[in-house]
Chains A and B, each alone.
Chain A
Amino acid sequence: MRYLPHTKEDIESMLKVAGQSCLDDLFNSIPDDLKITGSLDIPESLSEWELNDHMEELASLNIACKNYKCFMGAGSYDHYIPAVIPYLISRSEFMTAYTPYQPEVSQGTLQGIYEFQTMVTELLGMDIATASHYDCGTALAEACLIALRQNKKANKIAVSALTHPSHRQIIHTYISPSGYEIVEIPYTKEGLTDVKALEAMDDIAGIAVQSPNFLGNIEDLSAFKAVADAKKVLFITSFTESLAFGLLKNPGSFGADLVAGEGQSLGIAKSFGGPGLGLLAGTKKQMRNLPGRLIGKTKDANGDDGFVLTLATREQHIRREKASSNICSNNGLNAMTAAVYLATVGKIGIREIARQNHDKAIYLKKSLEMAGFESAFDTPFFNEFLMKAPEGFEQKRSALINDKCTFAGICVDKFYPELKHHYLFCATETISKKDIDQLAKEVK
């Protein structure tokens, strides 16, 4: 949808229809003391080259991953963004703050979101996916609310302590005003969510487990599914790295009822940690409980395929206080980006990218071990893993950022005080063998 300013001629012809002689007359119902007199308090306009200089000056204050070697993940991943993506998504039809939903003028956008939803269901092995949410944290909080609403007898949700710390915070923000409560499932010395501890938890409405978890380890989701079935509660899984499903079995094959995930890895820049892309998918049984927008395919009056908002009776403009959510916004542009990314890399490409991530992460882990780091767990991981650093590493790490443009992992003791001197390392396809060898040399 295009937004064009009115020309002088446009304004005059509209005033004529309205029967007014000038704009001031049109606004004379507004009291004078509410109107701004004089000019707006904004700087003078800049010429194109002045503006370019100004923007470049501002941009140079930022650190961009393309100039750095990034061995950090923890929910935001440095992946290569193919050139076709910025080219396609910068089309003006997609560049709007508001997602246009009127089917008569928005078939392109609606089809784009429909394709996005379809690809998300295929990636995750689920029946139905929404038009997207702000990020994984908000999608996961919505999933927890679905479980809590369905189980009227319990007001607690069991969430793994190895769910991303920010996501646990977001769930808390969402559910605590409603009188609901999070119970945290502790983790074992293998770096995995403790199934035994979960079995002993009563009066819960659902179970939420992230895999790969925040410390990078791959959880045995079938064990949690079995507990969820025994307790007759919903099983929710989440993830922060979508590309893991190029290699790992998808959550649908483990019988997840709801899956919340972060889609930032699918062609979206890290941008200081946001905006991300919240993915939310469910089984057909959960269709009417899903929050937010859903796009469906239908036939128009001529029998041709068309796309529309569907199942809108879940939403607040119809359902009022009983709506499945009071947020109907989606991250339209980022959903479109993910759709372009998935269509670009395809089934074979995503497997190849996932393979590279995993192989490079294994090589990085071995290299760090040889450089004096100690593996925290002996548990399978995808592209990130936890290491106990040798003495004096923190200083080296700070120096690496300033002197060698390298981010050597993230210290996790801020989130897990018991894990002192433990660092979460990540390797993606953007990291080369040379980069890893160089890092190992620097940290030795």
Chain B
Amino acid sequence: MKEINELNFSDDVKYSKSHEWAKISRDIVIVGLSDYAQDQLGEVVFVELPQNGDTLFKGDELGNVESVKAVSEIYIPVSGEILEINEGLEDAPELVNESCYENGWLVKVKPDDISELNDLMNKAEYLKMLKG
């Protein structure tokens, strides 16, 4: 595992306490895992995601990520309807490791209330939490 200052934290996303990120793109929200989360997990071998059209509430279990020796739950940082899941992860789950803010995104959500994202942290706040 890397030191925190060796990790990459994108400026244009917001972070949750459980290490998901959320990014607003026009009127939808893209959700993924932070570089810290993927580094902690290690080599990801499987990602289980909900189905298109499912409706979830903020904090619900979004799915789980399986690495070689552990399975971790992922939680959705905003309430809404799942518009699209990253189908590329089925054949290439390692995208979560290799490109966590770009090709390794998890789901696209149509948010019920975009202001829920105000509860999330910006990069500086997230780094502060990680450094404890």
In order of increasing CB-CB distance, the 5 nearest A-B pairs are A313-B71, A313-B66, A319-B71, A288-B46, A318-B70
Cβ contacts under 8 Å, A288 to chain B: 46, 48, 66
Provide the residues of chain A in CB contact with B48, threshold 8 Å: 288
Contacts of B69 in A (CB 8 A): 313, 318
Chain B residues with CB below 8 A from A322, complex form: 71
Per the 8 Å Cβ criterion, residues 23-77 of B in contact with A are 46, 48, 66, 69-71
Docked complex Cα distance between A322 and B63 (Å): 12
Closest chain-A Cβ to B76's Cβ sits at a distance in Å of 15
Q: Which residue of B lies closest to A320 (CB)?
A: B71
Distance of A139 Cα from B31 Cα, bound (Å): 37
The A-B contact count (CB < 8 A) is 12
A-B contact pairs, 12 of them (CB 8 A): A288-B46, A288-B48, A288-B66, A313-B66, A313-B69, A313-B70, A313-B71, A318-B69, A318-B70, A318-B71, A319-B71, A322-B71
Interface residues of A (CB under 8 A from B): 288, 313, 318-319, 322
Residues in B neighbouring A318, C-beta threshold 8 A: 69-71
Interface residue tally for chain B (C-beta within 8 Å): 6
Spell out B's residues near A (CB within 8 Å): 46, 48, 66, 69-71
- Bound Cα distance from A318 to B64, whole angstroms: 13
Known: A288-B66, A313-B66, A313-B70. 9 other contacts (CB 8 A): A288-B46, A288-B48, A313-B69, A313-B71, A318-B69, A318-B70, A318-B71, A319-B71, A322-B71
- Judged by DSSP, the binding face of B is strand
Q: Smallest CB–CB gap between B103 and chain A, Å?
A: 22
Complex: A318 Cα to B46 Cα, angstroms: 15
Max chain A CB contacts within 10 Å: which of B48, B66, B70? B66
Bound Cα distance A353, B36 (Å): 60
Min CB distance, A298 to chain B, in Å? 12
- Nearest-Cβ distance from residue A114 to partner chain B, whole angstroms: 20
- Give Cα A313–Cα B42 distance, bound, in whole angstroms: 14
Inter-chain CA distance A322–B71, complex, in Å, is: 10
- Closest partner residue, chain B, to A287 (CB atom): B46
Give the docked Cα–Cα distance between A321 and B71 (Å).
12
Who on chain A is nearest to B54 by CB?
Answer: A152
Give every chain B residue within 8 A of A319 (Cβ-Cβ): 71
Whose C-beta in chain B lies nearest to the C-beta of A312?
A: B69
Q: A33 to B94: give the CA distance in the assembly, Å.
A: 59
Please indicate the chain A residues that have their CB under 8 angstroms from the CB of B71 in the complex. Answer: 313, 318-319, 322
Most B-side CB within 10 Å, residue of A288, A313, A318, A319? A313
- Report chain B residues within 8 Å CB of A313: 66, 69-71
A319 to B46, CA, bound (A): 14
Closest to A153 in B: B54
Nearest CB of chain A from residue B40's CB, rounded to whole Å: 16
Among residues of A, the one whose C-beta sits closest to the C-beta of B73 is A322
Q: Closest residue to B46 on the A side, CB-wise?
A: A288
Q: Using Cβ atoms and an 8 Å threshold, which residues of chain A touch B66?
A: 288, 313
In the assembled complex, which residues on chain A have CB atoms less than 8 Å from the CB atom of B46? 288
* A322–B48 alpha-carbon span in the complex (Å): 13
Q: CA separation between A319 and B69, bound complex, in Å?
A: 10
Q: Min CB distance, B93 to chain A, in Å? A: 12
Residue of B with least CB distance to A322: B71
CA distance A322 to B46 in the complex (A): 16
Q: Whose C-beta in chain A lies nearest to the C-beta of B45?
A: A313
Say how far B90's CB is from chain A's closest CB, in angstroms: 10
Q: How far is the CA of A313 from the CA of B68 in the complex (A)?
A: 8
A318 vs B71: C-alpha distance when bound (angstroms):
8
Complex CA gap A322/B72 in Å reads 11
State the Cβ distance, B43 to closest chain A Cβ, in Å. Answer: 13
Q: How far is the CB of A357 from chain B (nearest CB, A)?
A: 42
Give Cα distance in the complex from A322 to B66, angstroms.
Answer: 13
**Nearest CB of A to B95, in Å:** 18
Q: How far apart are A392's CB and chain B's nearest CB, in angstroms?
A: 60
Minimum Cβ distance to chain B for residue A436 (Å): 54
A117 smallest CB distance to B (angstroms): 20
A108–B71 Cα gap in the complex (Å)? 30
Query: Distance in Å from the Cβ of B51 to the closest Cβ of chain A?
Result: 10
With both chains docked as a complex, state the minimum distance between the C-beta of B65 and any C-beta of chain A, in angstroms: 10
